[in-house]
């Protein structure tokens, strides 16, 4: 894959029809795909160099951990990149039914297994990102500017838009490389949860966005195992859901390419799983179900144990800014990042790209972008509201969560959801709706529809 410095280094007059995406991870790639339909050139500026095949890179340290790509996100990705599923499967991704093939211990008990027709595809995050990156690299007009860091925004005359970004090559590694301008008509920041965009805007005289943080102090420890042959095993994936505040430990394990399992142990409220061999197994043995421990006890580890800590829910309120450059958008984790245990990040990144697709439809490359960023950030905040509610609402059950407390309405919602969950173990229709909400195929409000609410009330 090209990591060329071939695009967008020209002076402003040549920059028409040029869009820049900051960050070449999932949000950046999905948005580049959308922008390639509307711009002559799209440049993805990424501070890392990309591995040749599916593999680790420093800029996405979370990629060592289990990444569930929820069904809704995968549907969008397959629309963006026809044939993606088949490609992933040909590289070893595992198709499964979300309910029938999974052992799922909910806080209310073991979930029933039945054919739900809600499909999942499990694979390593490395494989997913590599396949999507390959698709994006083959799009006409799209180029990657690897090992290059965006260090700020370039002001345009008048201050209502930006002219481009300042970039610095990381090739010499000593910070000696001078900053270079890179001009564009539209700039999309997809640089992740540590995005510097608030500081960049401040440097241009704009107010930075307010920030909301809800932190349930989750921690991960992840290890990959060779999947043992066992014809008697009747499940493909395992999910031991946390059940706070009593049980703040959980785990997810699913098959990935290469005949392997990826197993992420999760501890909330600061009760983080250890990253040493003995501690990891002890933590696995302390879960509410012994099945996962028994499965990995004799499996051969094929990776070290990697930890990841304190990934809070964090939302930057770009939608409330009185003034934001018209042609500068912030999306993906850079705008709103979630506690990852609910698996929503990549799907909301895809939804954000789909939103941009809708807003760009019907515009020509010659149109200006007045009002685009305001409209985009307002709509994106709405897209993120459902996943945010689900993630922070559940996190407020956890002991020691900072940034919010469970008020009356949250406590009532918790009580209602507990009853829905208990009901879903007996009523497959309710379970299906629950799974559809979990897979982001339906909004959380679907759990409050009259059909389910009536059953819950009758159940009381
Ligand atoms: C432990 C863990 C587990 C997770 N599990 C799941 C899961 O199961 N399912 C799910 O959907 N999501 C999960 N997520 C979230 C998921 O990883 C992200 O939501 C997803 O990667 C989309 O993020 P992004 O593209 O916005 O940012 P990121 O993936 O963080 O990527 C940002 C990119 O920008 C680059 N960059 C940063 N700054 C600059 C700069 N100044 N100049 C140039 N480049 C820059 C970085 O190198 C990186 O490539 C998990 C996250 C964590 C931490």
Is any ligand 1 atom within 6 A of the Cβ of residue 436? no
What stretch(es) of the chain map to CATH 3.30.70? 219-309
Mean pLDDT of 274-289: 98
Pocket test for ligand 1, best of 77, 192, 196 (most atoms within 8 A of CB): 192
The two structure tokens encoding residue 121: 């595809």
pTM of the model: 0.95
Encode pLDDT of 370-389 as tens digits. 889 999 999 999 999 999 99
CATH of domain 12-63+130-212+313-393: 3.50.50.60
CA proximity to 244, closest of 218, 282, 281: 218
| Residue spans of alpha helices (H) in 174-260 | 197-203
Please say whether the structural domain 219-309 has been given the CATH code 2.30.230: no
Pairwise CA distance, residues 419 & 453, whole Å: 10
Encode pLDDT of 104-137 as tens digits. 999 999 999 999 999 999 999 999 999 999 999 9
Angle between helices 450-459 and 428-438 (to 10 degrees): 130
Is any ligand 1 atom within 6 A of the Cβ of residue 273? no
Strands 249-256 and 211-214, by their bridges, are unpaired
pLDDT at 13 over 60: no
Q: Nearest 5°: CA angle at 298, between 296 and 302? A: 70
Question: Phi-psi bin for 173: left (phi > 0), alpha (psi -120 to 50), beta?
Answer: left
Pocket test for ligand 1, best of 26, 275, 311 (most atoms within 8 A of CB): 26
The pLDDT of residue 458 is 86
CA proximity to 431, closest of 441, 442, 420: 420
The pLDDT of residue 25 is 98
pLDDT at 12 over 50: no
The pLDDT of residue 192 is 98
CB 398 within 8 A of CB 382: no
How distant, in Å, are the alpha carbons of 284, 329, 457 from that of 278?
10, 46, 46
For atom 15 of ligand 1, the residue with the nearest CA is 345
For atom 3 of ligand 1, the residue with the nearest CA is 340
What stretch(es) of the chain map to CATH 3.50.50.60? 12-63+130-212+313-393
Q: Which helix (H) or strand (E) is 456 found in, with range?
A: helix 450-459
CA proximity to 129, closest of 205, 192, 53: 53
Reported residue count of the chain is: 460
pLDDT, the chain, mean: 93
Encode pLDDT of 49-74 as tens digits. 999 999 999 999 999 999 999 999 99
CB 191 within 8 A of CB 24: no
């Amino acid at each position: 894959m090209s990591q060329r410095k071939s695009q967008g280094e020209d002076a402003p007059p040549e920059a028409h029809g040029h869009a820049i995406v900051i960050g070449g991870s999932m949000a950046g790639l999905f948005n580049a795909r959308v922008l390639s339909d509307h711009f002559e050139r799209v440049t993805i500026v990424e501070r890392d160099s990309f591995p040749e095949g599916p593999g680790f890179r420093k800029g996405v340290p979370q990629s060592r951990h289990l990444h569930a790509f929820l069904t809704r996100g995968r549907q969008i990705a397959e629309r963006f990149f026809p044939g993606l599923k088949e490609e992933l499967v040909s590289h070893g991704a595992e198709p499964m039914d979300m309910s029938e093939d999974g052992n799922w211990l909910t806080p209310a008990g073991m979930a029933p297994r039945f054919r739900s027709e809600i499909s999942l595809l499990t694979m390593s995050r490395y494989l997913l990102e590599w396949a999507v990156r390959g698709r994006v690299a083959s799009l006409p007009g799209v180029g990657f500017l690897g090992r290059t860091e965006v260090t700020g925004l370039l002001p345009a005359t008048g201050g209502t838009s930006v002219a481009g970004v300042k970039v610095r090559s990381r090739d010499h590694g000593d910070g000696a490389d001078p900053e270079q301008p890179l001009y564009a008509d539209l700039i999309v920041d997809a640089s992740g949860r540590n995005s510097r965009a608030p500081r960049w805007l401040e440097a241009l005289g704009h107010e930075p966005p307010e920030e909301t943080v809800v932190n349930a102090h989750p921690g991960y420890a992840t290890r990959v195992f060779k999947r043992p042959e066992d014809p008697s095993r009747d499940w493909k994936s395992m999910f031991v859901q946390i059940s706070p505040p009593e049980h703040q430990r959980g785990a997810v394990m699913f098959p990935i390419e290469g005949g392997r399992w990826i197993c992420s142990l999760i501890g909330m409220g600061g009760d983080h799983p250890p990253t040493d061999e003995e501690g990891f197994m002890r933590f696995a043995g302390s879960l509410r179900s012994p099945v996962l421990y028994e499965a990995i006890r004799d499996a051969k580890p094929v990776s070290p144990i990697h930890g990841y800590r304190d990934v809070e829910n964090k939302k930057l309120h770009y939608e409330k800014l009185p003034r934001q450059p018209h042609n500068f958008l912030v999306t993906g984790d850079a705008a709103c990042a979630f506690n990852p245990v609910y698996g929503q990040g990549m799907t909301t990144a895809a939804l954000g790209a789909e939103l941009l697709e809708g807003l760009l439809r019907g515009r020509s490359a010659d149109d200006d972008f007045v009002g685009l960023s305001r409209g985009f950030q307002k709509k994106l905040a709405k897209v993120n509201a459902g996943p945010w509610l689900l993630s922070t609402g559940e996190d407020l059950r956890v002991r020691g969560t900072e940034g919010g407390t469970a008020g009356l309405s949250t406590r009532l919602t918790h009580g209602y959801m507990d009853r829905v969950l208990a009901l879903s173990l007996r009523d497959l229709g309710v379970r299906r709706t629950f799974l559809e909400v979990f897979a982001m195929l339906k909004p959380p409000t679907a759990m409050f529809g009259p059909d389910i609410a009536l059953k819950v009330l009758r159940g009381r």
